[in-house]
Amino acid sequence: MKPLLTLEMSQAIQKAANESRTTQSLLTIDQLSHNDIFTILDDAKCFSYSQKDWHLSQERLVANLFFEPSTRTHYSFISAEEQLGMKVANFNPMTSSQQKGESLSDTARTFEAIGYDALVIRHGDDDYYKELDQLSIPIINAGSGKAHHPTQCLLDLFTIYDEFHTIAGLNVLIVGDIKHSRVASSNITTLERLGANVKVSGPTELQKDGETRFEQLDNALEWADVVMMLRIQFERHEEVLSIEKEDYLTYYGLTKDRAARLKDHAIIMHPAPMNRGIEIDSDVVEFSKSRIFKQMENGVYTRKAILKYCLGESF
Ligand code: CP
């Protein structure tokens, strides 16, 4: 009996299906609609239990290009990509033609020309992706300068949503180095867009100019459902802090005494890496209210959902 489909026909159908799949970049969190965000959060939930072993419909090549140091974002992307059945390359700028002066744009276009299907990029420039608009393959922004960290924002939203089953109406207190934090920039506007109430705290010299959400830490602890501590980014500071590093925890950090004043249901978050003993007491990291290592676990589920979204795949 003749097969219903010849090999050529089945390959042509697969090719047409692949071509009709809409891929898209994730450059900033603002580009995502309310619906897109909740689709990604729902998919992340599915990846955390019922779709653990789900693979992309075809093998795809992805390259991770990290021009700034990273542990969580880089390695959780590798984990997510491999769990989805992708072939993964990890680009090392130090052993690449970047050392011969090649531009980011030419490096990225090289990956596209040699057959890569998607790029995950972390870079020190706030808007590096603007020079990549000639590329047709999706780019996922894994952190850019002080401006954007959309995948961290989504995993933070997932952690909050998984805990409270809502974002709207929650009180979120973001504490620390707001001025230099791409996590704060991405999270504040998105949390407010989704209906959360946001306050910020920390040294005034580490707040953005004209900040109207500011509250003293000790006045806001009982108000918060979520306390999101941020790393003090000493490496980005141009200004001198008004207090010594050794005094930071006492004045602005989440000490054990401050953590004891939080609501029973409140959770403590931190995108990490942490300066234990500076913005957060090391013991508080291990408190039952802390979701800091849970955030890292959630990073894998969320990044699987982001890859699924950017590659136009469906369950
Ligand atoms: N939270 C975060 O972006 O951590 P890494 O710098 O280790 O990726």
Burial of 237 (0-12, 13-18, 19+ CB in 10 A): middle
Comparing 74 with 245, the larger pLDDT belongs to 74
**pLDDT confidence bin for 13, thresholds 50/70/90:** low
Residue nearest to atom 1 of ligand 1 (CA): 271
- The ranges assigned to domains in the chain are 22-149+298-310, 151-291
Q: pTM of the prediction?
A: 0.92
- Enumerate the β-bridge partners of residue 202: none
Tens of pLDDT, residues 183-227 = 999 999 999 999 999 999 999 989 999 999 999 999 999 999 999
* Same fold yes or no, 22-149+298-310 and 151-291: yes
- Enumerate the β-bridge partners of residue 144: 123, 148
Task: Decide: 152 in ligand 1 pocket, CB within 6 A.
Answer: yes
Is the domain spanning 22-149+298-310 CATH 3.20.20.100? The answer is: no
Atom in ligand 1 nearest the alpha carbon of residue 272 = 1
Note the pLDDT of residue 245: 87
Note the pLDDT of residue 244: 87
Task: Decide: 72 in ligand 1 pocket, CB within 6 A.
Answer: yes
The CATH number of the domain covering residues in 151-291: 3.40.50.1370
Task: Tell me the CA distances in angstroms from 262 to 55, 168, 192, one per residue in order.
Answer: 41, 20, 21
Atom in ligand 1 nearest the alpha carbon of residue 122 = 8
Task: Decide: 271 in ligand 1 pocket, CB within 6 A.
Answer: yes
CB-based contact 295:68 (threshold 8 Å): no
